[in-house]
Amino acid sequence: MAVLVIGSGGREHALAQALSHDPGVSAVHCAPGNPGTAQVARNHPVDASDPGAVAALARELGVDLVVVGPEAPLVAGVADAVRAAGIACFGPSAAAARLEGSKAFAKEVMEAAGVPTAAARYCTTPAEVAAALDEFGSPYVVKDDGLAAGKGVIVTDDREAALAHAAACGRPVVVEEFLDGPEVSLFAICDGSTALPMQPAQDFKRVGDGDAGPNTGGMGAYTPLPWAPPGLVDEVMDSVVAPTLAEMARRGTPFVGLLYAGLALTSRGVRVVEFNVRFGDPETQPLLAVLASPLGRVLHAAATGTLTDVGRLAWRDESAVVVVMAASGYPGTPKKGGRIRGPRLAGSDDNVHIIHAGTALDDGELVADGGRVLGVVGTAGSLAGAREAAYAAIAQLDFPDGFCRHDIARKAAEEIS
């Protein structure tokens, strides 16, 4: 089958690369793609958030499946337009994508479904924000109700900073109680009624080593989690994913696509921090690096309501770590145009993959064109080995304007060494 991947970031490069390795996939297209996706797919200069343009391109190419990567096109209704054109689409409708498009809507669905999550207040005025902060106390958690590219959340002990963040959002916010414990990402591939879990991953949101500095879209991730409690996946599927799918179906908006459950393993049990409605970035990069099941077949089955025919997902007996190389200034105003060179950029070794996130070509040279620029993925039989492979590859890159965290997966690797 022929597949069209929508988007231009690291997640889309990882998806296109995995699809290109599926023997059942005859052609991979990306819109608009990036210099990395061009190595494994054919790029097309189409606005990813224009439903009509995406549907027209899918028809023109005669693809059998469209995979929508980012959240903004899903909220804009790209999946609806593709399905209306008679083409299978992996990605929720605009109505179902509100699970990410509105934090308040997600809380409403979780409450109706009995999904364990943090207590929260929907606030539309500064007075309501102040009252909610006082109700929950420190650490203060304030979330932009709408899409914010993973940077709409503040967790702080500074009440004034929390108030300022709420004001800066310029629209309603959700104030929540703080959830203690480590965070875990669990992805579930859904066809509206059935769901298949991927293995858990953990990402690193803060920009600096030791979880210092502001939130970002994610500075690295790894999988599997050697410290994850036994039965975690089954528990989350039973208490979070299944009831959420049932509630969405009851509302007449069945969820088809990737349900991303951001979880906190608290002292009171598992709690949902947030829902996303697409493959997470950067967790997708290490997950797909060790997925043994053919990705195209799995996503097509989800898009056509036949996941029960797939069975359990298969995984390689390996660990994978992705370390994000970001442009200086990120997550504020990243410096664009910095040259990127290095022997690893031309392709992938068996245990290292260079994923393009925010890159462009300038007179044939690779340059930074975004905040998160590259994702360097290492795989090995151990978590320590995967880290070593990723950081060794980074050491060979010549990107003077770039930086990375140096502690991705370090704690977990040290605990099992």
Q: What percent of the chain is modeled with pLDDT above 90?
A: 89
Which of 268, 291, 309 is where one domain is finished? Answer: 309
What integer pLDDT is reported at residue 348 of this predicted model? 60
Q: What percent of the chain is modeled with pLDDT above 70?
A: 98
Sign of the alpha-carbon dihedral angle for 85, 90, 91, 96: positive
Residues 199 and 290 in one domain: yes
Cβ 19 vs Cβ 43: under 8 Å = no
Rounded to an integer, what distance in angstroms lies between the CA atom of residue 168 and that of residue 173?
A: 10
What integer pLDDT is reported at residue 74 of this predicted model? 97
Residues with Cβ within 8 Å of 262's Cβ and at least 6 positions away in sequence, in order, are 183, 184, 185, 272, 273, 274, 275, 276
366 pLDDT higher than 80: yes
Residues 387 and 403 in one domain: yes
Residues 163 and 254 in one domain: no
What integer pLDDT is reported at residue 347 of this predicted model? 56
Q: Residue 315 to residues 167, 221, 270, 355: CA-CA distances in angstroms?
A: 45, 17, 24, 20
Cβ 366 vs Cβ 342: under 8 Å = no
Single-letter amino acid, residue 250: R
Does residue 102 form part of some domain? no
Does residue 112 form part of some domain? no
Which of 176, 211, 245 is where one domain is finished? Answer: 176
Residues 287 and 219 in one domain: yes
**pLDDT tens profile 252-310:** 999 999 999 999 999 999 999 999 999 999 999 999 999 999 999 999 999 999 999 99
Which of 309, 327, 343 is where one domain is finished? Answer: 309
151 pLDDT higher than 70: no
Rounded to an integer, what distance in angstroms lies between the CA atom of residue 161 and that of residue 363?
A: 43
Residues 48 and 145 in one domain: no
Does residue 114 form part of some domain? no
150 pLDDT higher than 80: no
Residues 404 and 337 in one domain: yes
Rounded to an integer, what distance in angstroms lies between the CA atom of residue 167 and that of residue 173?
A: 9
88 pLDDT higher than 60: yes
* Encoded tokens for 150: 């993973």
Helix 159-169 to helix 126-136 angle, to the nearest 10 degrees? 140
Residues 261 and 331 in one domain: no
Does residue 97 form part of some domain? no
Rounded to an integer, what distance in angstroms lies between the CA atom of residue 151 and that of residue 132?
A: 21
Residues 193 and 152 in one domain: no
Residues 330 and 270 in one domain: no
What is the CATH classification number for the domain harbouring 376? Answer: 3.90.600.10
pLDDT band for position 152 (cuts 50, 70, 90) = confident
What integer pLDDT is reported at residue 405 of this predicted model? 98
Does residue 96 form part of some domain? no
pLDDT band for position 84 (cuts 50, 70, 90) = very high
Residues 186 and 302 in one domain: yes
Kindly provide the b/e burial profile for residues 162-177, where b requires at least 16 CB atoms within 10 angstroms of the residue's own CB: bbebbeebeebbbbbb
* Enclosing H/E stretch for 212: strand 212-215
What integer pLDDT is reported at residue 154 of this predicted model? 86
Domain that holds residue 245: 182-309
Across the range 98-121, mean pLDDT stands at 94
What integer pLDDT is reported at residue 51 of this predicted model? 98
Does residue 108 form part of some domain? no
Across the range 31-53, mean pLDDT stands at 97
pLDDT band for position 149 (cuts 50, 70, 90) = low
Report the domain count for the chain.
Answer: 4
**pLDDT tens profile 373-395:** 999 999 999 999 999 999 999 99
pLDDT band for position 147 (cuts 50, 70, 90) = confident
Does residue 33 form part of some domain? yes
Residues 280 and 204 in one domain: yes
Residues 277 and 331 in one domain: no
What is the CATH classification number for the domain harbouring 19? Answer: 3.40.50.20
* Enclosing H/E stretch for 174: strand 173-176
Rounded to an integer, what distance in angstroms lies between the CA atom of residue 275 and that of residue 83?
A: 23
Rounded to an integer, what distance in angstroms lies between the CA atom of residue 407 and that of residue 211?
A: 9
The rounded mean pLDDT for the chain is 94
Does residue 194 form part of some domain? yes
What integer pLDDT is reported at residue 417 of this predicted model? 65
What is the CATH classification number for the domain harbouring 169? Answer: 3.30.1490.20
Residues with Cβ within 8 Å of 32's Cβ and at least 6 positions away in sequence, in order, are 8, 43, 44, 45, 46, 47, 48
What integer pLDDT is reported at residue 213 of this predicted model? 92
Residue with tokens 């304007």: 401
What is the CATH classification number for the domain harbouring 220? Answer: 3.30.470.20
CA 111: distance to chain centroid? Answer: 24
**pLDDT tens profile 328-337:** 999 999 999 9
Single-letter amino acid, residue 405: R
